[in-house]
Amino acid sequence: MKNYNLAIFGGISLLGLLVLIFPTFWINLVVFIVGLGAVAYGLYNLLVTKRVFQDSMYETVILVKSVFSIVIGSISVILPLAVADAMWKTMIYVLIVYLLLAAIIGFYSVSLLKSTEIDRKRFVLENLSLLLLAVALIIISPERLGIFIVRLIGLAAFILGIFMITITLMSQKNVVDAEVVEVREGEEGSTDSEEE
């Protein structure tokens, strides 16, 4: 178990160091992952969420949201890889706008479900997640503040990993091996009589 913990904390520390050294790469990776997530979210809405409520207005809203998600997600994955580094900055802002609009459209579609008996909590949580993701992208946008924040997160992960490795190694040194004492039946009786 201790070796497992050492491997996990070593991985956290290494990841923190890589984020600290290469912050722009990690920002680009986040954009790529959010783009893939947008495509998956669009497909999910198209295949699952659209069928929740049989209303033409609701279906149209979900269809628009789905197509919008798939298109923006595809662009944010394909275009930066094709055009190179300058596109990443643009795609972060496009994704921020997409996430905000998708959340607004999502809240509108939830309001269309108000008159039904369908549980809306899941859809509200989805749209709140979109808003939180937009805020996270605003925070890590590739300006100086964003790179500083990403480096700060990397430094914190690195320090946490090293600290936890140190604690794990220190706790291994403090483990005392217990001595096993075998008591035979004949000896047990003699010790009892000696005590009396």
pLDDT at 128: 93
Q: Per residue in 29-60, pLDDT tens?
A: 888 888 899 999 999 988 888 777 788 888 88
The band of 143, judged by pLDDT with boundaries at 50, 70 and 90, is low
User: What's the domain count of the chain?
Assistant: 1
pTM for this entry: 0.62
User: Do 91 and 75 contact (CB within 8 A), yes or no?
Assistant: yes
- For residue 145, pLDDT over 80 is answered with no
Q: Which of 13, 17, 8 lies closest to 151, judged by CA?
A: 17
Residue numbers of the domain that contains 23: 2-195
CA 137 to chain centroid, in Å, comes to 13
